[in-house]
Chains A and B, each alone.
Chain A
C-alpha cells in the first residue's frame, strides 16, 4: 500500500506542474501574441516552467544570465520579430536594445513625414499622429533654440532660454486651449503635432544663417511660416467643434508667427 502511495505522490507533484501550466494557458488571453507552438517550453526539473503571461516565451536562464545586456540576442529564437502584424508594442519585453532604438527612430521619421510633408492622399489628419512621440519635438525645439542662440550677437543664453521656454510653454498652453474648447485631442498627441510642425521653422532658421539680407530672410521665414501653419491647421481644426475652429487655430498661428519673428529678428 505504501509503495503505491509514494507513486501517487510523485505523479501528483508532476501533475501540479501540469496544472499550473494549463491554468496559465487557459487564463492568458493570447490577444497580444501568438506563440508558435513549435518551441516547447524549456523545462528543466529544477527551474520553474516558462509560460508566457504577457511576454513571449522566455527561458528563465536568459533573464538572469550574465551575458552582456546590450547585445542580448533574442533568447532561443522564437517570437521576437515584431512581424505579427498589429502594433509595435507586442513582444517588446524581451527584445534586444537595438530593436527598441530602431523602433523609436523609425517612429520619429514616420511621424515627421506624416505631419510635415504635403500629402493630399493622407487619411483623416485627426487620426494621423496616432503613434505620437515626444522625441521629435524635443529635438526640434532644442535645435531651433540652439540655432537662434548661435546666431545671436549678444545675450546668447538669454535667447536660448527664452526660445526654449516660449516654445515648450506655448505648446502646453495651446494644447490646454484645445482641450478647454471641448476638443477631443489627446494631450501628448497635440504636443507632438505642434512640435513636429516646428520643423519648417527649423529649416528656415538654418537657411537664414547662410544669407543675412533682410529680404531673403523675410522670404524664407514667410515660406516656412506658411508651411508650418498649413501643417498644423488640419490637426487642430479637426479636433474642435467647427464653431470654435478659429479660436483654436488662431493661437497656433500666433505662436508660429512669434517664432518666425524671433528667427527674422535674429542678427
Chain B
C-alpha cells in the first residue's frame, strides 16, 4: 500500500492556515500595528474565516461530518448532525482526520492561554477578541463531537444489522451445504 499522504492537502492547508494566522496575528500584532481597531478587526475576521472553513469545508471533506440548525414549521429549533455512511467513512484518509481533530481541540486551549495572559496584563480590550475566538471554536467542537457520536451510533446499528444477517446467512449456507 502506498505511504499515507494527505488526501486533501489544500483543505488541510486552509484549515491550519486560518487558525495559525489568527493566533499568530494576535500575538504579533502589537509589534507591527499601532491601532487596536485594525488588530481587532483583522484577528476577528481571520477567526470568522476559520470558523466558516472548519464548519463548512474541512468537516465535510476531511471527516465527512456536518452540523447545522434549522427552524421548522412550528418555530422550533432543530439541530441536525449529518455524517457520511459508514463505508465511505472508513475510506477517508486517516492523516486528514488526525489533523482535523487535533487542530480542532488544540486551538481553543491556545486561545484560553492567551486569554489568561491578557487578563494578567489587564488588557480587557483584547479579552473581547479572545472571547470571540473561544465562542466560535467551542461551537465547532460541540457540533463536530455530536456528529461523531451520531456517526458512531450509526456504525453500531449497521454492525448489529449486518452481523445478524451474516449469521443468518452462514447458518443458512451451513445448513444447505450439509444436505
Contacts and interface: CB of A to CB of B under 8 A. Distances in A.
A48 B80 contact: no
A50 B70 contact: no
A16 B162 CA distance: 9
Contacts of B11: 69-70
A246 interface: no
B167 to A, nearest CB: 11
Given A94-B60, A157-B36, A58 B88 contact: yes
A138 B48 contact: yes
Interface stretch (B2-10, B99-107, B112-120): B2-10
Given A20-B162, A66-B8, A69-B8, A53 B70 contact: no
B76 to A, nearest CB: 8
Interface in A135-149: 135, 138, 142, 145-146, 149
A72 interface: yes
Interface in A20-76: 20, 23-24, 27, 47-55, 58, 60, 63-66, 68-70, 72
A93 B71 contact: no
A5 B166 contact: no
Interface string A3-23: 011001100100110011001
Interface stretch (A160-168, A201-209, A226-234): A160-168
A4 B53 CA distance: 56
Q: How large is the interface on A (under 10, 10 to 19, 20 to 34, 35 or more residues)?
A: 35 or more
Contacts of A23: 161-162, 165
B165 A63 contact: no
A63 B92 contact: yes
Contact of B41 (A50, A60, A68, A142): A142
Interface residues of B, number: 55
B25 to A, nearest CB: 16
B128 A100 contact: no
A216 interface: no
A54 B166 CA distance: 23
Contacts of A127: 75
A5 B157 CA distance: 32
B7 A66 contact: yes
B34 to A, nearest CB: 10
A149 B37 CA distance: 8
Contact of B128 (A131, A146, A164): A164
Nearest to B45: A142
B60 A93 contact: yes
A27 B36 CA distance: 56
A53 B86 contact: yes
A53 B75 contact: no
Contact of A19 (B36, B83, B85, B169): B169
B44 interface: yes
B85 A54 contact: yes
B82 A130 contact: no
Interface of B: 5-11, 14, 35-37, 40-41, 44-45, 48, 52, 56-57, 60-61, 64, 66, 68-71, 75-77, 80, 82-88, 90-93, 125, 128, 154, 157, 161-162, 165-166, 169-170, 173, 176-177
23 contacts: A23-B161, A23-B162, A27-B157, A53-B84, A60-B87, A63-B88, A66-B6, A66-B8, A68-B10, A69-B11, A69-B57, A69-B61, A93-B64, A93-B84, A97-B57, A104-B56, A131-B71, A138-B48, A146-B41, A156-B36, A160-B36, A186-B77, A188-B69
Which 5 residue pairs are nearest across A and B when measured between Cβ atoms?
A53-B85, A157-B36, A48-B87, A69-B11, A69-B8
